[in-house]
Amino acid sequence: MNKLIEIKSVSKLYDKGLVRALENIDLTLEVGKSYALMGSSGCGKSTLLNIIGSLDEASSGEVYYDGKTIKEIKNLTLFRREFIGFVFQFHHLIPVLTLRENIEAALLPNTKITKDERESRTFELLEKLNITHRSNSYSANVSGGERQRAAIARALINTPKLLLADEPTGNVDSLTAQSILETMFQSAKENNTTMLIATHDHDIAKMADVLIKMKDGKIISITHA
């Protein structure tokens, strides 16, 4: 078993301990596998994703990334950029940037990449996600599906080791959702990316290698396909 992420006894408390969002979570994510995280609203899916994605801190417990805890990672910005790709439920594109610029923005901090390489990688993903014709449009002027595709492209452009997606198809129609998911799964497979998707959708769960069910901040079952 090739571990990418190991979560040990992670808990998250809010409001001075009055709200327990996560309780003693133990989970291991393997390299190249896809995981579907299911559960009702408020069960702690997004909180768990945020903690794994280093966007939030656990109240107790540890998350190990390739064997290192978050405290042992020297450059957290670089780590976030190269290790993790995040797809949010509401695309979260920058409104004053075009779709192309939004995707390119995730590559900007990487000074090792030349402008030409940056542009070619951006166009490659635009093409792959079928939004080339919208590359110079602002997010306000494109459809929900196209926005979400751009958000996925932004998450994939750094070829992260871990792709975290928080209900990526929550705001698109079923056809678009199917197409988006196929692209995500295909890209993840090509790059041997580990994928963790929080979702309510049972169809997505069927596509994943592992199904994790959560309830009241706890993992209640882990089912391998």
Partner 1 sequence: MFKIVFSYAFRNILRMRLRSLFTILSIILIISLYTVLSSIGVSFTNQIDSLIAKQDVDIALQAKFASTPIASIIQEETINKILKYDEIKSTESIFIERKQLENDTSVFLLGLSDFDTFSQRFGFNLIDGRSLDKTKKELVIGEKMAKVLNLDIGAKFQLEDNEEYLIVGIYSSWLNFLNSGLIIDIKTAQTLVQKPGKVNSLFISLKDPTQATVVIKKLNKEFPKLKAIRGNQFPNSLGPIKSVFFFSKIISILTLIIATAVLLNTFIMAINERTKEVGILSAIGWSQGMIISVFFIEALLLSFSGGLIGFISAYPIMDILQNNFASIYMYLPESPNISMLFDLFLMCFGISLVSILFPILYTLKIKIAKAIRNE
Among 4, 37, 48, 106, binds partner 1 (CB under 8 A): 106
- Give the strand pairing for 210-215 and 194-199: unpaired
- Closer of 19 and 108 to partner 1 (Cβ): 108
Residue with tokens 């792959």: 128
- Selected range binding partner 1 among 17-25, 30-38, 152-160, 190-198, rule: CB under 8 A: 152-160
Least Å distance, CB 98 to partner 1, is: 10
Q: Which helix (H) or strand (E) holds 203?
A: helix 202-207
> Is there binding between residue 13 and partner 1 (CB under 8 A)?
no
Give least dist CB 209 to partner 1, A: 25
C-alpha–C-alpha distance, residues 220 and 44, integer Å? 12
The answer to whether the CB of 163 falls within 8 A of the CB of 195 is: yes
- For position 147 contacting partner 1 by CB under 8 A, the verdict is no
With binding defined as CB under 8 A, does residue 215 bind partner 1?
Answer: no
Size of the site for partner 1 (CB under 8 A): 29
- Encoded one letter per residue, x for contact with partner 1 by CB under 8 A and - for no contact, window 49-68 reads -x--xxxxx-----------
The residues in 80-99 that bind partner 1, with binding defined as CB under 8 A, are: 80-82, 86, 88, 92, 94-97
Which ranges of 60-201 does DSSP label H, i.e. alpha helix? 76-83, 99-105, 115-128, 144-156, 174-190
The DSSP bridge partners found for residue 195 are 34, 163
Instruction: Select from 59, 40, 78 the least CA-distant residue to 220.
Output: 40
Nearer to partner 1, 115 or 224 (CB): 115
Distance in Å from the first CA to the final CA of the chain: 16
Chain contacts with partner 1 (rule: CB under 8 A): 50, 53-57, 77-78, 80-82, 86, 88, 92, 94-97, 101, 104-106, 108-111, 154-155, 158
